[in-house]
């Protein structure tokens, strides 16, 4: 009940949230990130100082990655080098535009779990990565055989990118039995740091079972919390785990990250973000004006968070991108791309 009460009160006090937009320019100085509205999936495009680029996940397979690819080409000029492509895990809603990325850009290195799947989109992505490695010598950091441990950091001019977590398979001591949780728990989590400000990209990492008690903390989120004294997860902006599912965003993980801004990459499917997950952020101090969702206006009813819901509205992909800018003076701006 406490979450329901909080949600109702904050909804009444913050209706102005629905119309805000700053239309950030990705060509300005600093670090720019666009969390692309790909529907039910994830793609984030990153432009860093010094002409460096990173892509974190490649969008939904349903449209063959078209929404993700369009956003990528708007931010990264054709033919440029992509310093790092991170594929958080092997689910198809994170792999949609991989083939197109390799056809358009020189990808210097790919970081992935190496967890094998039988889907066509996974096989296409796997082939594209291997072909790039053979033809251009791109580095394939495949965790099934490549030792790349949490804490490993790349330095791109003034921006640091650190792998916080990521596995080929979940450790035995996690005792996961659900196939979905097994696949998602190995997600590669990275933390971007620029001018003392940070963004945490979490893929579909998990930290609780659905309907667990509020104090539950398991699997990858427990790993990150337990190691946070050595590998920092405290971050100003959090791209929330698993699209806002209830088996992620555990209370202890939220406290350890202590985000000022939270972004849910979601679409009209699976009823994400869940009200229970969003409630944990609000209860732990994230103000409603600083919570964003790429399915703004969506209505799946039931357990889905109802803030901004338009009755009967099935949110289409492509209209609720979220932009993040860290300016050279360390100021952070987070806004919807469109009004």
pLDDT for position 322? 98
pLDDT for position 15? 37
Angle between helical axes of 2-13 and 275-283 (0-180°, round to 10): 80
Give per-residue pLDDT as tens, 267-294: 999 999 999 999 999 999 999 999 999 9
139 domain-assigned: yes
51 domain-assigned: yes
93 domain-assigned: yes
pLDDT for position 27? 76
pLDDT for position 8? 39
Side-chain-side CA neighbours of 258 within 13 Å: the count stands at 6
217 domain-assigned: yes
Q: Which domain holds residue 65?
A: 2-10+28-329
Q: In tens digits, what is the pLDDT along the chain, a chain of 339 residues?
A: 444 444 433 444 343 334 444 457 787 889 999 999 999 999 999 999 999 999 999 999 999 899 999 999 999 999 899 999 999 999 999 999 999 999 999 999 999 999 999 999 999 999 999 999 999 999 999 999 999 999 999 999 999 999 999 999 999 999 999 999 999 999 999 999 999 999 999 999 999 999 899 899 999 999 999 999 999 999 999 999 999 999 999 999 999 999 999 999 999 999 999 999 999 999 999 999 999 999 999 999 989 999 989 999 999 999 999 999 999 999 999 999 986
CA torsion, points 132, 168, 159, 56, in degrees to nearest 10?
60
The DSSP secondary-structure symbol of 112 reads: E
Q: In this structure, are residues 242 and 209 in contact, taking their beta carbons and an 8 Å threshold?
A: no
- Provide the H-helix boundaries in the chain: 2-13, 66-75, 98-104, 120-136, 179-185, 219-226, 251-257, 275-283
CA torsion, points 147, 151, 155, 160, in degrees to nearest 10?
140
pLDDT for position 275? 96
Q: 134: how many CB neighbours lie within 10 A of its CB?
A: 10
338 domain-assigned: no
105 domain-assigned: yes
**Rounded to a whole number, what is the distance in angstroms from the first to the last CA of the chain?**
32
23 domain-assigned: no
Domain of residue 299, CATH code: 3.60.15.10
219 domain-assigned: yes
- Count of the separate structural domains present in the chain: 1
């Amino acid at each position: 009940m406490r979450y329901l009460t909080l949600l109702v009160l904050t909804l009444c006090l913050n209706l102005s949230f629905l119309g805000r937009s700053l239309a950030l320019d990705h060509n300005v100085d600093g670090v720019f990130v666009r969390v692309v509205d790909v529907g039910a999936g994830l793609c984030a495009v990153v432009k860093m100082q010094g002409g460096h680029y990173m892509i974190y996940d490649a969008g939904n397979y349903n449209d063959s990655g078209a929404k993700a690819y369009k956003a990528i080409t708007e931010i990264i000029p054709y033919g440029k080098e992509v310093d790092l492509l991170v594929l958080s895990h092997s689910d198809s809603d994170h792999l949609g535009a991989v083939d197109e990325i390799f056809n358009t850009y020189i990808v210097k290195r790919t970081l992935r779990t190496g967890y094998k799947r039988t889907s066509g989109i996974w096989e296409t992505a796997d082939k594209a990565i291997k072909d790039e490695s053979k033809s251009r010598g791109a580095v394939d950091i495949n965790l099934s055989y490549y030792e790349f441990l949490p804490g490993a950091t790349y330095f791109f001019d003034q921006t640091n990118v650190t792998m916080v977590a990521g596995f080929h398979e979940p450790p035995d001591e996690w005792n996961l039995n659900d196939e979905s949780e097994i696949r998602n728990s190995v997600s590669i989590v990275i933390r971007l740091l620029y001018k003392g400000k940070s963004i945490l990209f979490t893929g579909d990492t998990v930290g609780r079972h659905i309907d667990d008690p509020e104090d539950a903390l398991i699997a990858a989120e427990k790993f990150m919390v337990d190691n946070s004294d050595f590998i920092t997860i405290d971050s100003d902006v959090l791209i929330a785990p698993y699209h806002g599912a209830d088996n992620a965003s555990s209370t202890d993980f939220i406290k350890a990250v202590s985000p000022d801004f939270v972004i849910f990459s979601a679409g009209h499917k699976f009823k994400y973000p869940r009200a229970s997950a969003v409630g944990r952020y609000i209860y732990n101090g994230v103000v409603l004006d600083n919570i964003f969702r790429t399915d703004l206006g969506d209505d799946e009813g039931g357990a889905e968070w109802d803030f901004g819901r338009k009755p009967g509205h099935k949110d289409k992909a492509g209209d609720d991108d979220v932009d993040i800018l860290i300016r050279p003076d360390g100021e952070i701006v987070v806004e919807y791309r469109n009004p």
